[in-house]
Amino acid sequence: MSSRAKSSPTSRLKLFSKHLNSPSPTSTSTFLEKPFLELNTPFSTERSAHWEDEQGKIIRKSKFQEKIEEKTKEEATQTEQEQSERKQSAKMSKQAPHAALMIPGPIEFDDAVLESMSHYSESHVGQPFVNTFGEVLSNLRKLFQTTDPSAQPFILSGSGTLGWDQVAANLIEPGEEALVLHTGYFADSFADCLETYGAKATQIKAPIGDRPQLDEVEKALKEKKYKLVTVTHVDTSTGVLSELKALSELVHRVSPETLVIVDGVCSVGGEEIKFDEWGLDVVLTASQKAIGVPAGLSILMVSGRAIEVFKNRKTRPTSYFGSWKNWLPIMQNYEAKKASYFATPSPQLIHALHTSLNQILSKPLDQRFSDHKAASDKIKKAVSDLGLKQLATKRENQANTMTAIYLPDGVSPPDVLPSLMKKGIIFAGGLHKEIASKYIRFGHMGVSVTDSQRKDITKGIDALKESLSEVGYKA
């Protein structure tokens, strides 16, 4: 790299966006085609104040952007009163005043969940902590609606991504085939993860906003023997919801040995999941999305059938930290309230999860799911009343935990996100690289939905309306 290229942010951005042009929707081996040190990061507004079009050219300042800048100057004179109003409305709890985090994770946290983290230090093998961990594992069974004793919950320190690694390292052996159903960015990454561990990943890609159809999946399953099928329950890059029940039935009927793996990072705790009834083999998630706990825990429910597949491996697991050989006895001991050690868990996060699961399970789960659906319906109606479209066009394809909203023509995320922030609302920019500059994402899960004291949802809708009208958009 020349020193000029190094010092120019524009050329660095260009290099960066080149990394994103990863090839090949269905190829089984993309590795050699990719740059060696590929950045596994999508193009998104959080990363840059600049904006590029699909060709990597910086988009010139739009008339909307200019208007915002004028407006910002105006507002500078009235900030004091405004600020105090904002503080008032942001005072949602004992937490310091802050804009409501309405992105698809991390989400807003409940006070009690946060407070349970300021627990004095405990030994991770002392009985009190072992009891807490054990209760958390039992409660996870309830959250996933499983009563099958052969199913196994896992909680490891790490983020949601570690769930992909666990699946890839424990359930598939080098050279085996995986079918990855693509509804957005997260399937590309899951496929990449599987290939990192030597599996061969084939993707079925749906057009943006849609999901692979059952007949396509059936055809693929009949063509080749797949060790597992992965599906993203809610794809956080597109807001597309997958239908798990019918898909799982299909897999069991057409290819009974194929494991059904669900990336539920943006769905568990907000979308209905019936682990036993739907015949799922792994549902993986993370703490910071609809479960409402700070980031740092990789949470999985694994079926007895998948545990058997793991136990019958011919080769050893291809990860050390993520190996179920190491973790299975630990999880079983914790649930039996027996101390044991493989690697130190995070007592503080386990306490937070304990509190959050107790809150979630104190009400019927059906109620929780219908509350999320009602909030989602309200947002989706407001979006369409505003004359805006979602990435997912059909209601049955639309997630209940988030909404991905196309901005009006000529408006890009940097035109509205800063003004939303001023109104006390944080939304996320686009994440799907082909259309990242055209849409924003509104996360609606957890306490923002279930705590009636909070006005996050209405505030989010009102702020969106105002920010759009500020840039000259009329519904």
Ligand X SMILES: *Cc1c(COP(=O)(O)O)cnc(C)c1O
Question: Interface residues with ligand X (CB under 6 A)?
Answer: 105, 159-161, 186, 232, 235-236, 263, 265-266, 286, 295
Sign of the dihedral through C-alpha 334, 286, 210, 379: positive
Nearer to ligand X, 159 or 326 (CB): 159
Report the 3 state secondary structure along 285-335. Answer: EECCCCCCCCCCEEEEEECHHHHHHHHCCCCCCCCCCCCHHHHHHHHHHHH
Shortest Cβ distance from residue 410 to ligand X (Å)?
29
The closest residue (CB) to ligand X is 160
Nearer to ligand X, 130 or 178 (CB): 178
Tokens of 95: 């937490």
Nearer to ligand X, 241 or 407 (CB): 241
Shortest Cβ distance from residue 161 to ligand X (Å)?
3
Shortest Cβ distance from residue 295 to ligand X (Å)?
6
Q: What are phi and psi of 213, to 5 degrees?
A: -85, 155
Give yes or no for a contact between 153 and 175, defined as CB atoms under 8 angstroms apart.
no
Nearer to ligand X, 232 or 355 (CB): 232
Shortest Cβ distance from residue 154 to ligand X (Å)?
15
Shortest Cβ distance from residue 232 to ligand X (Å)?
5
At 128, which helix (H) or strand (E)? Answer: helix 127-143
Give yes or no for a contact between 446 and 400, defined as CB atoms under 8 angstroms apart.
no
Nearer to ligand X, 186 or 427 (CB): 186
Shortest Cβ distance from residue 193 to ligand X (Å)?
10
Shortest Cβ distance from residue 237 to ligand X (Å)?
8
d(CA 12, CA 192): 24
Shortest Cβ distance from residue 106 to ligand X (Å)?
9
d(CA 335, CA 136): 8
Residue type, 247: L
Nearer to ligand X, 291 or 468 (CB): 291
Residue with tokens 């194929």: 258
| Contacts of 413 by beta carbon, 8 Å cutoff, 6+ apart | 45, 51, 407, 429, 430, 437, 439, 440
Nearer to ligand X, 52 or 235 (CB): 235
Category of 427 on φ-ψ map: left (φ > 0), alpha (ψ -120 to 50) or beta? beta
Residue with tokens 């490891």: 156
Nearer to ligand X, 173 or 195 (CB): 195
